[in-house]
Amino acid sequence: MKKLVFLHLFILIFHSLSSQTMTPELLWSLGRVNALGVTADDKQLLYTVSYYDKESNKSNTQLIQYDFASKKSTNISNTNAYIGGISFDKSGSYLIDKSGNFSTSDNKPVSLTKDAEYSNFIISPNGKNILFSRGVNAMQTKSDLYPNLPKTEAKIYDDIMFRHWNVWEDGIFNHVHVADYNNGAITNEKDLMPNEAWDSPTTPFGGTDDLAWCPEGKMIAYVAVKKFGKEYAISTNSDIYFYELATGKTKNFTEGMNGYDKHPLFSSNGNYFAWTSMARDGYEADKNDIIIADLKTNKKVNLTKDWDESVNGFIFSKDNKKIYFNAPFRGAVQLFEVNIDFENKPVIRQISEEICDYTAVIAQIGNKLICSRTDMNHATEIYAVDISNGKSEQLTKVNDEAYSKIKMSKVEKEWINTTDGKKMLAWVIYPPDFDPSKKYPTLLYCQGGPQSALSQYYSFRWNFQLIAANGYIVVAPNRRGMPGWGTAWNEQISGDWGGQVMKDYLSAIDQFSVKAYVDKSRLGAVGASYGGYSVMMLAGIHENRFKTFISHCGSYNLDSWYGSTEEMWFANYDLKGPFWNKEKPKSYELYSPHKFVQNWNTPILIIQGGRDYRIPDIQAFEAFTAARMQNVKSRLLYIPDEGHHVLKIQNGLLWQSEFFRWLKETL
C-alpha cells in the first residue's frame, strides 16, 4: 500500500514538473543558440549559446562544438565575453572574436596592430591575410573644433542622418581593413576606405555577411553605401566593391544597379560570384533576388527573376551547380534550391514544407543542409535537413529539457475572407489545455515592418507562447505588406498604411470572434513598430470592437514623424513623399492616427524606447498626452536606455510584467 501511495505521489510530482506554462522568467532563462560555422573538413559545427543573468543585467556566452560523427556537443569555453564570430581557413584552424579580441583555435591570443576594437573578421582561405572592420574617425568632430571645451555635451551637425536607429553620428565610421596574418600576429594593417565618411559593413545591421574573400585569397568583396548626409538619408543604393590585394585597386562591381546589393559570396571554385539585389533605389522592402555572375565571361543572371517571392539568404552547393536559399513562403520561412544556369530559365524547387522558420542556411554537409530553425513554441536550435525530401533532424538540444516541462500552445491556420475577395492566412495561438467549451479573451496581433513576414519566428519579447500561456488566444493575420504571398501582396501596403490593411485586421478579428470560445466582450489589439502604428490607427476607427490596446514604438502623427525620423527613403516611399508637397500625399490626412484621436475611447498602454530614433519618443508623448487630455485610461511605459527593440533582461522582464498587468486591468 505504501509503495502505491509513493508511486502516486511521484506521478503527481512528475506531472507538476512537466506541466508548467511559460512565464517571463522561464522565457529569459532559455539558451539562445547562434550558429557560427562548420570546420573546413566538415566534421564539426561551432555555435554559441548565450544565457541572460537578471542580477548583472547581462548575458554570458558559451562556445560549443558539435561533432557530426558522434552527434555530441562539447563546451569549448565558458566566458562572459561576447562572441562576435568565428572564421576558418582551409587548413581547419580558426580564429574567434571575443569582444573585439582575437584568439586562435588553440586558445592563443592574437597580437593586434592597434589598441582598438576589431570586429567582423574573416581569415583568408589560404590563412595568409585577415579581413576585418573597426571604427575610424573620418570627419571633423566637436572635439576637433573646440578642444578647450571637453566637458560640453553639445552636438553640431550640418546635415541630416545625424542619428540612425539608436546611435548619434559621432564621426566614427566602420572601415574595412586587410592585414597580413602569420602565426597569431597581425601586421601591415591597411584601411581600404581611408578618410571616407561611410560605413562598411553597413549600419545598423551589417556584419560579416557584408564581406567575402575569393577562394584564392587575392580579392575581397565588401558592401558599402558611399553616400553621406541627405544623400545617404534618401537612398538605399548599396554597392559591392572588389578590392585586389596585389594592386590595391577598388572596382564597383554592381555599378548601375540602383537598390540594395548585399550578401556577397564567391563559389568555392572561384568561377562565380553571387549576391542579393533589390532593383529600386529608396525601397527597402523591394523584391530581393539572387544575382550570379560568371567571373570568366562577366555574364550576369537573375536566378529568381521569374519567382514571385523574396529571398533572405543563400549558400552555394558543394559542387557549385546550385544555390540553396531560405525565403518567407506562405506564413513560414522555407528552404529552396535553384540551379545555376546562364542559358536557360533557372528551376526553383522547394525543399522544406514543415511549419517552421529556417532562419539561416549555414552549410551543406553531404546531402543535408545545416540550418537554424524556430517555431512559435521553440527558440532557435540547429537542424540538418535532407535536401532530397526535406526531412529534418534536430542536432542541438539546448532547450529541450526546459521545453519538456512546459505545456505547449496549439498553433493553427485560420483562413480569412478579406473585403476585396482575397484569402488571408491568420496564425492562431491557443492557451495550453485549451478547452473549446470555455470562453477566452482574444488579442489581435499587429505585425511590424510594415513589410516583414509574420512567420513561425520565436521572439523573446512578443512571444506568442508566453501570451497564450497567460490565458489569451492570439490571432496573427498575414495582412497586406507581408512577404511570402507574392510581390503584389507585399507592395500593396506602401502609401496605404491605414487603408486595406486596417480592413484586413478587422476582417480577421470579426471572422474569428464568431467562434463560441471567443469572449467578444474581451478583445484587445497589440503590436510594435508598424504594429504600434496599427494599434493607434485602430483605436480611432474600431467602432468599439476592442476593450484595450497596447502600442509599442508606433507612429502617431505622420507629419511630425516625417520630420523627426532618420531613414528618409523609408518615409518617402511608404508615405509617398513629405507632407509639404504641393500635392500632399493622402497618407497624412487619411492614415495618420492623430487625425482620428477624437474617437479614442478605449484604454491604451503606450510603450517607448528613449534611444529609438526610427520612431522618436515624441510620437509616444503626443499620443499619451492626447489620450489623457480626453480622460482615456492610459499608461506610458518609457524605457530611456532601449532603442526600437528591448534587449536588456531587466527591461524585458519589466516590459512583460507591464504588458500583462495592463491586460489584467483592462481586459
> Could you tell me the three cell numbers for 208?
560579416
Contacts of 367 (CB under 8 A, 6+ apart): 386, 387, 388
> Could you tell me the three cell numbers for 8?
502516486
422-446 core/surface letters (b: 16 or more CB in 10 A; e: else): eebbbbbbbbbeeeeeebbbbbbbb
Contact 323, 303 (CB under 8 A): yes
Is 310 an active-site residue? no
Q: Which among 209, 286, 289, 612 is annotated as catalytic?
A: 612
What does the chain come to in residues?
A: 667
How many other CB atoms are there within 10 angstroms of residue 544's CB atom?
8
Contacts of 286 (CB under 8 A, 6+ apart): 259, 260, 278, 279, 280
Alpha-carbon span 284 to 640, nearest angstrom = 28
Query: How far, in whole angstroms, is CA 471 from its chain's centroid?
Result: 28
Peptide bond into 450 cis (omega under 30): yes
Q: Which among 529, 534, 551, 592 is annotated as catalytic?
A: 529
384-419 core/surface letters (b: 16 or more CB in 10 A; e: else): bbebeeeebeebbebbeebbeebbbbebeebebebe
Rounded alpha-carbon distances, angstroms, from residue 393 to 281, 384, 528: 41, 5, 34
CB-neighbour burial class of residue 156 (10 A; exposed 0-12, middle 13-18, buried 19+): exposed
Contacts of 448 (CB under 8 A, 6+ apart): 527, 528, 529, 530, 531, 532
Is 510 an active-site residue? no
Using a CB cutoff of 8 Å and minimum separation of 24, what contacts does 13-19 make? 17/405, 18/404, 18/405, 19/405, 19/407
Q: Which residue has the cell 507592395?
A: 491
Alpha-carbon span 618 to 402, nearest angstrom = 41
Alpha-carbon span 426 to 353, nearest angstrom = 18
Q: Which among 175, 263, 594, 644 is annotated as catalytic?
A: 644
3-state SS assignment for residue 13? helix
Is 529 an active-site residue? yes
Question: Catalytic site residues?
Answer: 529, 612, 644
